[in-house]
Amino acid sequence: MKDVSELFWQASPAELKQGYRYDGAAGVYICLICGETFADGVVYRHGDLLYEARKYVAVHIAASHQSVFAFLVGLDRKLTGLTDHQKALLELFYDGRSDAEVAKELGAGSVSTVRNHRFALREKQKQAKVFLAIMELLAERAPKKSGFIDLPRGTRNVDERFAITAEENEKILAACLPQGPDGPLALFPAKEKKRLAILRHIVKYFDPTATYSEKEVNAILKRFYDDYVLLRRYLVDYGFMDRTADGGKYWIKL
């Protein structure tokens, strides 16, 4: 199965479609497929042509990974939910083949059979949209459990798996912050339950009534972890913080 980075799962649907995301703090475009970065303001050469970073990352994806579509379709069934037959159909549809050509290529029977496959895939798309909306509503509605530490309103993926007692919270902080609550982190935990405990602790170092620039956020996070960009992204992704569309201003979500 192809490896998929944590950055891949943090990306929005729009970023997944384009295959890269822009990190404003670091000033780089990041390929979501391989993690290679391209610095904003730098000119890159491909053959006889020169490209600015934003355009070059798309060139890189085409040259190194064929296409975003090819990468996504090639992911394991556990990640896509697609059978091998459905993947083959999608690849031919993506190439612009007619229903008759697809039927001949796959030996799929009649043209009407291929049309039925197209219909089934469109139905799968509709179901995915509905399921996503259901899970987001569920996350917002999940009941709080008495005796457990609460997460901020709007925090994603809040359910029983991530409920945590005060005692558990103290153990996690002691293990990850051996030099004390002010940092630095000895490690940033991979398990989501522990990760949320760390983020919940770190967000306390921000004034809930203040608005911060990206540099000010970074300055606070640096005391905890060298990869402050990762911490900042998680604080936003998990709903502890919010920001303007351009990433210029940050604030605590109450």
pLDDT tens readout for residues 199-243: 999 999 999 889 999 999 999 999 999 888 989 988 988 888 888
Taking the CA atoms of the chain, what radius of gyration do you get in angstroms?
Answer: 22
User: pLDDT tens for residues 3-57?
Assistant: 667 778 778 888 899 999 887 767 889 999 988 999 988 999 999 999 999 999 9
Residues near 143 by Cβ (< 8 Å), separated by ≥ 6?
none
Q: Which of 30, 45, 71 is the last residue of a domain?
A: 71
Same domain, 171 and 246: yes
Same domain, 104 and 42: no
Residues 86 and 58 in one domain: no
pLDDT greater than 50 at residue 158: no
Same domain? For 169 and 207 the reply is: yes
What is the pTM for the complete model shown? 0.56
Q: Domain check: are 59 and 105 in the same one?
A: no
Residue 133 belongs to domain spanning: 82-141
E strands, 17-165, in order: 20-23, 28-31, 37-39, 43-46, 49-52
Q: 52, 71, 90 — which closes off a domain?
A: 71
The last residue of a domain, from among 49, 71, 93: 71
Per-residue pLDDT tens for 47-91? 999 999 999 999 999 999 999 999 999 999 988 989 999 999 999
Assess whether 86 and 32 both reside in one domain: no
What is the domain count for the chain? 3
Q: Give yes or no: residues 49 and 130 share one domain.
A: no
For residue 12, being part of any structural domain is answered with: yes
